[in-house]
Amino acid sequence: MGVPKDAARAAACYREAAEKGLETAQFNLGFCYLHGDGLEQDDAEAVVWLTSAALQGYVAATAQLGTLYRFGRGVPQSIVMAAKLHLAAAIASDVASIDDLGDYIVEIEKEALAGSLRACLTLARMYDDGLAVEKSAAGAYAWIVWARRYGFRDDRALNEAIKHREAQAYGLVAIMRDGGFREAAVSTVAEAPASQASSSVADSNVYVP
């Protein structure tokens, strides 16, 4: 009762509320644009409204944007950005985003092995929190080590953050103080994603000293 029955009317109501800044309405309007429900389908316009909702902390919007970046709908395709957004939603307990990360973890690993700092940090956090992978402090640290040694793209600020706050960022200070465990963790860099390591690094022309 009181809810518009036709899709066009519903979309109009969502727009009115969305323009006033209501994040739920912004998400719903974005969803309408995404699926052409009550208005003309428009991926780019969907991104605009989903982004507005995500910036206000609407987790479902963040998750949906991750999916759009994964498949390149309304935005340039970017596995790194998709993983960053899905991770943010997963940390906020979005179960679907956790499943999504597991679905394309191999692609995230390929980006990390090709030098993406953000992909490395995403994998580190996934292992540190046990999101879509078995929880592993060693696995988390291994990706931090890889990022520091071989990461070269994304942005300078992120590079500096890795260099100066590598262990602190994921609560791994204790691991760094344990020489033997540190060696085991470093070895995980080669062992965990071994199936992709050689080809991905070679294909991306990453210099490995």
In a 13 Å sphere around the CA of 142, the CA atoms on its Cβ side amount to 23
CB 159 within 8 A of CB 126: no
Going by C-beta distance under 8 Å and a sequence separation of 6 or more, which residues neighbour residue 22? Answer: none
Angle at 69 between CA 65 and CA 73, to 5 degrees: 90
Residues in a beta bridge with 153: 116
Residue 155, sorted as left (phi over 0), alpha (psi -120 to 50) or beta, turns out to be beta
pLDDT at 11: 94
How many C-beta neighbours within 10 Å does residue 50 have? 27
Q: Would you state the pLDDT for residue 89?
A: 97
What does the buried/exposed string (b/e) look like for 145-173 if buried means 16 or more CB atoms within 10 Å of the residue's CB?
bbbeebbebbeeebbebbeeebbebbebe
| Mean pLDDT, residues 76-85 | 95
Q: Chain-wide mean pLDDT for the chain? A: 79
Residue 155: what pLDDT?
61
Average pLDDT of the residues in 10-38: 96
- pLDDT of amino acid 49: 97
> Which residue shows structure tokens 């009181």?
2
pLDDT of 158 = 60
Residue ranges of the domains in the chain? 116-209
Question: Mean pLDDT over residues 196-202, rounded?
Answer: 30
- Does the pLDDT at position 170 exceed 70? no
pLDDT of residue 23: 97
pLDDT digits (tens, 9 = 90+) for 28-49: 999 999 999 999 999 999 999 9
Q: Dihedrals φ, ψ of 116, to 5°?
A: -80, 115
pLDDT at 5: 59
Where does the pLDDT of residue 153 fall: very low under 50, low under 70, confident under 90, or very high at 90 and above?
confident
Residue 1 has pLDDT above 90, yes or no: no
Q: Is the pLDDT of residue 163 over 70?
A: no
pLDDT tens column, 89-104:
999 999 999 999 999 9
List 180's β-bridge partners, or say none: none
3-state secondary structure of 196: helix
Residue 61 has pLDDT above 80, yes or no: yes
Q: What is the pLDDT of residue 180?
A: 35
Whether the pLDDT of residue 189 is over 60: the answer is no
The amino acid sitting at 157 is: A
Q: What does residue 96 show for φ and ψ, rounded to 5 degrees? A: -60, -35
- Burial (CB count <10 Å: 0-12, 13-18, 19+), residue 178: exposed
Numbers of helices and strands, H then E, in the chain: 13, 0
Higher-pLDDT residue of 19, 189 = 19
pLDDT of residue 120: 94
